[in-house]
Amino acid sequence: SGAFEAKDWGNARSVRTLVGLAVQQRNLRIDVDGTDDDALSTLEEVDLRSACDIEGIGRTSQRSETAADILAELDAQIGQDELKKQVRTLVAQAELALARRDAGIDDGPVPLDHLVFAGPPGTGKTTIARLLGRLYHALGLLPSTTIVEVDRSVLVGSHIGETEKRTRAKIDEAMGGILFIDEAYALARGGTNDFGREAIDNLVPRLENDRGKFLT
């Protein structure tokens, strides 16, 4: 399609991730434009281009999306009215903080609070996390749209020291973007002697020490 060269595939976390993003972009496009049922099984070039832009592959530097562009995508999703309101509240708070800084009222960095998305599977938590990453990037609050998706199986090792190494590596990978921990509560499910506690112990200090450098 010309959206990226073969060498750029090495920057993607996986082909599955890229195709999954392309499917989401297709669904958003169909919601906005309207089309026939055959389009539901077809990925267009524009869908793959959008997925590449989100993942930072290929021609990202040629794209400059605004917060309004991304909020329009959010509005195109069916339902989730309360969640949409919460996202707009977060954006409004960030814009206010930016305006205060630009006016010289506050001279420090704009605070970025870590977030918890609660809800059953299939309610769009991952999609919203990706949108927030793009929103904060469009506002200039995060340098990257990177989102690193992990769960207990990715962070927790089987022997002493392995969990610490895994957790620190994923935090470093997410720096400048978002670390999305799916079912984060599972890290504490094994009791005080479980290695999940080691992941929490390594994560919590970084949330504070690197505040503003990445989001979870």
Is residue 61 predicted with pLDDT exceeding 80?
Answer: no
Rounded distance, CA 84 to CA 79, Å?
9
Residue 63 pLDDT exceeds 60: no
Express as a percent the part of the chain with pLDDT over 70.
Answer: 70
User: So what's the pLDDT on residue 109?
Assistant: 66
Q: CA 202, 177, 204: angle at the middle one, nearest 5?
A: 20
pLDDT in tens, 166-176: 999 999 998 88
What pLDDT was estimated at residue 1? 40
For residue 77, what pLDDT band results from cuts at 50, 70 and 90? confident
Q: How confident is residue 129, by pLDDT bands cut at 50, 70 and 90? A: confident
Query: Comparing 197 with 212, which gets the higher pLDDT?
Result: 197
Query: Distance between CA atoms of 178 and 187, rounded to whole angstroms?
Result: 18
Contacts of 101 (CB under 8 A, 6+ apart): 107, 108, 110
Residue 67's closest CA among 142, 16, 150, 121?
142
Among 27-41, 120-134, 196-210, whose mean pLDDT is lowest?
27-41
Question: Given a cut of 50, is residue 194 above it in pLDDT?
Answer: yes
Residue 29's pLDDT is: 62
**Which residue in 115, 121, 138 sits closest to 54, CA to CA?**
138
Q: Name the more confident of 111 and 34.
A: 111
